Structure 1
Amino acid sequence: MSDRSTYIANSRSAVASMRELFDETPLQRNDHLSAMYDADVWLKREDLTSVRSYKIRGATNAMRRALERDPVQKMFVCASAGNHAQGVAFACRQLNVRGVIFMPVTTPQQKINKTKIFGGSQIEVVLTGDYFDDTLAAAQSYCIDHKGHFLSPFDDPDVIEGQSTVGIEILDQMGEMPDLIILPVGGGGLSSGVTSVLGTERLLCVEPVGAASLTAALANGAEVTLEKVDNFVDGAAVARMGANTFELLKHLNPDQVRTVQEDRICSTLIEMLNVEGVVLEPAGALAIDVLKDIQDEIKGKTVVCVTSGGNFDFERLPDVKERAQRFLGLKKYFLLRLPQRPGALKDFLSMLGPDDDIARFEYLKKSARNFGTVLIGIETTDALNFDRLIVDLEGAGFKMQDITNDATIAEFVI
């Protein structure tokens, strides 16, 4: 039997076992995206699993395989602050095994509570470490000391096999292979799993610009550790591709891996929430966001986007909206040099258009200066409004410095 045939057979076996614990996720045609891109766009809704992410698949499959090999194995250990923790917790409760889940002490209480709800009395949550590396080290040490089975979030053959079931379900639900399947990439568990059963020919992988570990690995010919990672897309913010996952992904052509900007992902999150009522986490929106870059390539084609997760903390919504507006050019921050004379502020305000709104204003008047500095944030409904405003201000002698995209200044004042 060929490797592909073996992978498919094992994946179908995994699918059958999963049906005893949870239903398949729906494959839904999205009319809004189909009309926007003149294509037949479908969403594989992994955000609608019991734990709102595909991680439930890898966790349950890895536990099942471990118990097949060692029926007396009764304790599983993982380190996670997000979807993997919840998937492991769910699996522990369903399979009636004990789990110890290590989470950083900085983990939001909402995520801790959800993990405890999914696991019930079958799990123990241990909060340790300010940073994930410290949490991971503690979990692995505990696992060795207590002879537990460590569950990797992605770099494990059994986890990869579990994630491969997404591909099997897509194939069965569509009845044929679509023209393109778009997959988000973090550590590579989902993408390598789907690749193992469907091959690479019609796949496109997407990762955030600030955590492009697969792009780096393909360029290097082997896994590399990124020097810096942007953690905004937390479900895909992985500094190093897994060895097992890269073995299955190394045959991808570089043009089959795309990167997308974190701020643009925010605009996609807002769009899907406002237009479709679909709640996605940043990693869950990757496969949809990249459609903006490939719209000419997919016209008239059938495309499946895997929405990998929907565990969005709504406390992040103001930040997501802020980043989306800045990306779309609808919100900007300026340092305004304002003359210290009566009526100067009134003159400035009179130049704002009917759709321009002041979102932030901080002014420090210094008596020994002829000019004061104002930090001002302005929202508008059309990015072109800023072009008009800047021309009018400069014509009136006002000096403005746009600091919206100045990372150094923005980090401290925005």
Structure 2
Amino acid sequence: MGRDVYVAGVGMIPFAKPGSSEHYHVMGAQAIRIALQDAHLDYDKVQQVYAGYVYGDSCAGQRAVYEVGMTGVPVINVNNNCSTGSTALFLARQAVASGAVDCALAVGFEQMQAGALGSVFLDRPTPFDRFQEEADALLQVEGVPLALRYFGGAGLAHMQQYGTQLSTFAKIRAKASRHAANNPLALFKKVVTEQEVMDAPVMWPGVMTRLMACPPTCGGAAAIVCSEEFAMRHGLDRSVRIKAQSMTTDYPSTFEKHDMRQVVGVDMTREGARQVYEAAGVGPQDIQVVELHDCFAHNELLTYEGLGLCPEGGAEKFVIDGDNTYGGRFVTNPSGGLLSKGHPLGATGLAQCTELVQQLRGTAERRQVDGARLALQHNLGLGGACVVTLYERV
């Protein structure tokens, strides 16, 4: 890890539906300004910037950052699908930990279009060609959008092996809505019941309803990381430290195990978590609060097991026992998660960071997890990359 790295400032803007948000550069700049204000730091003290987005032209990062300042510092554009925001954070943390810089900014933003995700460049091979071939071999289903097919198929594999009920995924979505009701920045704040989730329009019979999938969302979020010496010199907050962090990409098992759970990155999650626990000298039992990648309720359930929050095959019991919410073993996605907070791809990882930093500072208001000392973040992008980050209250 090198030098200790502190999160000195975080910020995000309210997430919005496509067509009702500002343009990407406005959202990105707003998030940066909030993070700078939170850190009580001027932009000219930032030495490197990592700007994450998926749907945008080259140098969109500069366009957003220039709204805040033009100081000539390196601005690196980052695209790692849904893990883009946390990849930007990974690079910013790495720059500080290595001693390359003393202060770095990670910002993520996305101005998305309504509807299911899809390829933009249709005149060349898709990076998902091998994933699609594996999904075609494992699933006999037509008319289901790409991402829903992957994650729904992974959930179906869990249902077939362990007898997991569709209602368990509905419980996860209902929990997300209860958490989001306390988050003023979430897209969907309406509380929905398990039955309402079950009664929502069917996307894949027996596998998924519409409310079990996260919506396309627009938004921005940012974080400022720095060394201890820099924080002391400028009088910055040193209450939250990145204790450990990992990034993993796909293993041969993604395709060789012929299991949709592997196709959507369960082994990336498992190995990323193992690396973080080992580096930090802790186990999942030491964690109090988690923000994980619930692009679908199905992936939240799979990730409980991948992160070691419960045993393999034990995720349904984990949900039924209420161990994923307040009063249980781990408060999972107190922000409302992607399911209710929203999922602007480039911003998601930094929005997760913002939530967990506020939890460890004790400033999460009605969402506050009592006694939060260690917070775990999981951000997954198919194709693939998984970033797992452990934050510690100092």
The two structures share one fold, judged by TM-score above 0.5: no
TM-score, with structure 2 as normaliser: 0.24
- Does 1 or 2 have the higher relative contact order (CA < 8 Å, sep 6+)? 2
For the pair shown, the structure with the greater C-alpha radius of gyration is 1
TM-score, with structure 1 as normaliser: 0.23
